[in-house]
Every structure is written in C-alpha cells, then in structure tokens.
Amino acid sequence: MEQTLTAMADDSADNHADKHADALALAPALPGKPESRRKEDRHFVTALARGLDVLACFRAFDSELGNAELAQRCGLPKSTISRLTHTLTELGYLQALTEPVRYRLGSSALALAPAAQQGADVLSVARPFMQELANLSQGVASLIVRDRGRMLIFENCQAESYLTLRVPVGSRVSGLATAAGRAYLLALPPAEQRQALSAFRTDDKASAAQAETMLEQCRDEHRRLGCTTSFGEWLPDINSIALAFRPGPSLPPMTLSCSGPNAVVPPAHLLEKVRPLLQQHVRRIEATFGVTA
C-alpha cells in the first residue's frame, strides 16, 4: 500500500479491504427505510424502488451485468429482475447486450448526468485542496456523499507515495463506522439526522442503542476536535478524520476525509498535522459556494 509499510502490514490491509470490496459488490442495494416500515407506507411505490435499486447496481457507466448478478445484488427473484430490466431497457435506462444477454446503463440514464453538474463544480474547487491534504497526510483524501444507507466515495486524491487504493471511487462504505458518515450526520438538521441515522443503522445492522451511543460520542468529539474520527473502527488498520460541508446554501452536505493505514497515518499525525488544514480547506470550499458559518 505504501513503500514504507512492511509486507505483513500490507497484506493485512489488503485482505481487510478486499473482503470489504467483495461485500460491497454482493450486498443488496438497501433503501433508507426498513422493509417493515416500507410496507406500512402507502405512499411508497415498491416497483419504482426496485427499478432504482437495479440501476444503483451499476458502479460505472461501462459496467455490464446480467440478470443473475442483478438478482444477487438486489436480493430479488430472477423473474422479477427480468421484468425490471425489460422495462428499464424499453425506457432507455438500460441497454441490452446480446450473447449472452447483459445490460449496461443506457442513454436515458446518461441524460440524468447534467443534473449532477453541481458535483462536477465541487470537484473542480475541492480537488486542489484534496491533493494538498493527501500529500500532507501521506494517505488519501476523499470526497464522500450519502447514498441511502451508506456513504459513497465520489472522488479520491492520494499521495504520490501511496501506491494502491483498495476502496475506489463509486464504492459504498459504512455510515456509522466511518468518519465521513459520522461527519455527515452531524451536519444535518434534527429531522434529517434521525432519518439518516435510521438508514445507516439498518444497513450496518446496528441496534438503536448502539447508533445513539455512537452519535452522542461523535457530538462530543466534534465539540472537542472540530471533526469526526474513525481509528480502526471501519477497518482495523485504517484511520481517518472527516468534516462535512455544504456545496451551496440549500444543498445537502458532502464530507471531506483523510485516511490511511495505521503504519503510515497514525491518529496523532491526523489530529496534530492534518486536522488544522482539513478545517481550513473546508471553510474555503464553503466560502467559494457562498456558504457562511
């Protein structure tokens, strides 16, 4: 992972991250509400939710998936998936490839991209700051957004000496165990915070008591440090700190995090050296988009 890491530390971090990546690839695309609550919600359109879950399975615009893979990821019968992929293909959201039949995102899905242009604007502003943070930390600086019950890595910048990145852009990570997810929660107003916390704990299979304890600890930590932390809590060898910001006065928060293997990026280094620059850069990004404290 990094030139100064021992082979043993490198193998350990790789194994943890590879297992996590496998879990991400196989896990169903979970919604923000538990199944029991969705059934009680008469406004909830299950067919629409399932169709969106199918689209969410595609990690990139060039991903190709078959019905069997989609059924596994969504946790639905293949017959249901076949009807969904047929409908999405007819509407142009999927493109069918033959021999064997597989699918990739179609023109209608690509047409949604301009709606995410704000994200591209954020990247153009944030990327230089992210690279500076990555170089200082000797790890990775990540821009992370919420994706229902998880957090999604939107962009990564890594230090030149950081050789491999095992959690690529587009990966979904825990909302409760990562510094990014915790920072996101603290940036929300009370009602939205409760909804997001419920979605995170459902996805992480955590109890209400565990989630509440974590949230209270994060509040206290943020008051003391001005950021959130996760030292070996998401993956045993990985440390991270994060801070949320809003890319516009009425837009949902994003998080900026710095992370790396414990052998290279210990907690003291993150808190003493990286944290002040993280706080400074977040203020600069918000100021660029007209957000004031």
Is residue 126 domain-shared with residue 141, that is, in the same domain? yes
pLDDT tens, N- to C-terminus, the chain (293 residues): 333 333 323 333 334 333 333 333 333 344 445 555 556 778 889 999 999 999 989 876 557 899 999 999 999 999 999 999 999 998 888 988 877 889 988 877 766 765 566 667 888 899 999 999 999 999 999 999 998 899 999 899 998 876 555 678 888 899 999 999 999 999 999 999 999 999 999 999 999 999 999 999 999 999 999 999 999 999 999 999 999 999 887 678 999 999 999 999 999 999 999 999 999 999 999 999 888 76
Is residue 103 domain-shared with residue 161, that is, in the same domain? no
CATH of the domain at 193: 3.30.450.40
Furthest C-alpha separation in the chain: 59
Is residue 245 domain-shared with residue 106, that is, in the same domain? no
Q: How many contiguous H segments (helices) and E segments (strands) does the chain have?
A: 12, 8
Q: Decide which of 68, 86, 111 is a domain's last residue.
A: 111
Domain range for 63: 26-111
Could you tell me if residue 104 is inside a domain? yes
- Interatomic CA distance for residues 136 and 194, integer angstroms: 35
Is residue 97 domain-shared with residue 51, that is, in the same domain? yes
Tokens 């915790």 -> residue: 182
Contact 54, 88 (CB under 8 A): yes
- Interatomic CA distance for residues 68 and 26, integer angstroms: 12
DSSP structure class, residue 164? -
Question: Which residue, 130, 161, 132, is CA-closest to 144?
Answer: 130
Q: What's the pLDDT score for residue 291? A: 82
Tokens of 51: 């169709």
Contact 22, 138 (CB under 8 A): no
158-196 tens-digit pLDDT: 988 765 556 788 888 999 999 999 999 999 999 999 999
Contact 200, 211 (CB under 8 A): yes
CATH of the domain at 94: 1.10.10.10
DSSP structure class, residue 114? G
